[in-house]
Amino acid sequence: MTVREALRYQPKSLVLVESLGLLGLTGWADYLTGSEWSCFAPYAIPIVLVTWNLSRGMGFLFATLCAASYCLTDWRDNPYQHRWAFALAVAGWWFYFSVLAVAVASIKVRRELDRARIEALERARALEDQIGQSSERERQRIGRDLHDSLGPHLAATRYAATLLANELRQRGQPEAAKADEISNLTAEAATLARDLAHAIFPVQTDGAGLAVALDELSRTTSRLAGLSVSFYETSNFSLENPVKGMHLYRIAQEAVNNAVKHAAAKKITIALNQSEDSLRLTIAEDGKGMNASASDSHGMGLDSMRYRARVLGGELKIESNPGEGTIVSCQIPKHFPQPERSA
């Protein structure tokens, strides 16, 4: 615990005793120095101390006590010729001490409001991260189920259909062609299930696995959508944290899906590169583009990409003009604190 924290959490009774002790020492010093030296600044210390640690009411009380101490110590030895002039001086000191208490109390309230606002933002950020991690875990569960359960089941069905087709063909039965068709359809379903499982849950997104996952995304999209999708890695791209890689993969996946569904693109390019202090992911397509208001909109897909970039400490940029295609880029710092690993 730091010295500031220790002072902050000390008992209120101890704060009160300390403030009274400071007030007594200041009054004694004021008595010794007489009216030639002003003790305004030392009197302010106990006022600030009790106002900050106790309450504004205690600050007003100590403002009164400090003014009374000044009055008692300089009652006989003061430069004023009339008692009423000295009384006005004491009233002036009390006024300034009271203003000091109000100012300290206002700063304290403002600081507490700022602290509460920061804590609320941190709680909202933590809740947002938990929701994102829960969604990612659900994606991973579905991807594993598709890969580990549905995939083997379809493979077994295809094997059984192939055996049935061979047996019917040996017997000279015309139904062998239908069995072959069932086998081929099952093989296509297994391929679709595998592609879907890899899209939902890439096998590895840390180390060099992110580049492998993005290359698989480009080849799968090319095969399914009939577009020219290419992936380029301009340097040895490596990530240490799989959650960080998963966020980058989801950004690329969402940008590619948008290009396929909405942009009428014919060519999509995914690129990864890194410099000494940053990592950059770029998705460019030659579709119909969009205007500035559309690129600044808050659709679910765009908000998801912006959220993932913000989690990584980076920035998502969308550059697009009607008829000129769209470039989505995400640049993140290389040494940004790693996101927490999902359970």
* Domain identity same for 209 and 338: yes
Where does a domain end: 86, 103, 126?
126
Domain assignment present for 194:
no
Taking only the tens place, the pLDDT of each residue in 141-193 is: 777 777 667 777 777 888 788 888 888 888 888 888 888 888 888 888 877 77
Is residue 270 within 8 Å of 232, Cβ to Cβ? yes
Domain assignment present for 155:
no
Residue 72 C-alpha from the chain's centroid? 58
What tokens appear for 26 in the block?
A: 């200041």
Query: Percent of the chain having pLDDT more than 70?
Result: 79
pLDDT of 342 strictly over 60 = no
Domain assignment present for 33:
yes
The more confidently predicted of residues 207 and 50 is 50
Strand-pairing partners, residue 239, are: 207
Q: What is the CATH number of the domain that holds 291?
A: 3.30.565.10
Query: Percent of the chain having pLDDT more than 90?
Result: 10
Mean pLDDT, all residues of the chain? 79
Eight-state DSSP code of residue 147: I
Q: What is the mean pLDDT of residues 85-103?
A: 85
Where does a domain end: 61, 95, 126?
126
Phi, psi of 304 (to 5 degrees): -65, -45
Q: Find the helix or strand (DSSP H, E) in which 242 lies.
A: helix 242-261
Given phi > 0 = left and psi -120 to 50 = alpha, else beta, which region is 75? Answer: alpha
Domain assignment present for 172:
no
Where does a domain end: 126, 144, 176?
126
Per-residue confidence (pLDDT) for residue 282, from 0 to 100? 93
Minimum mean pLDDT among 67-71, 191-195, 267-271: which range?
191-195
Predicted structure pTM score: 0.54
* Domain identity same for 117 and 207: no
Give ∠ CA 142-147-150 in degrees, rounded to 5.
90
Number of domains in the chain: 2
Domain assignment present for 245:
yes
Domain assignment present for 160:
no
Domain extent at residue 254: 203-343
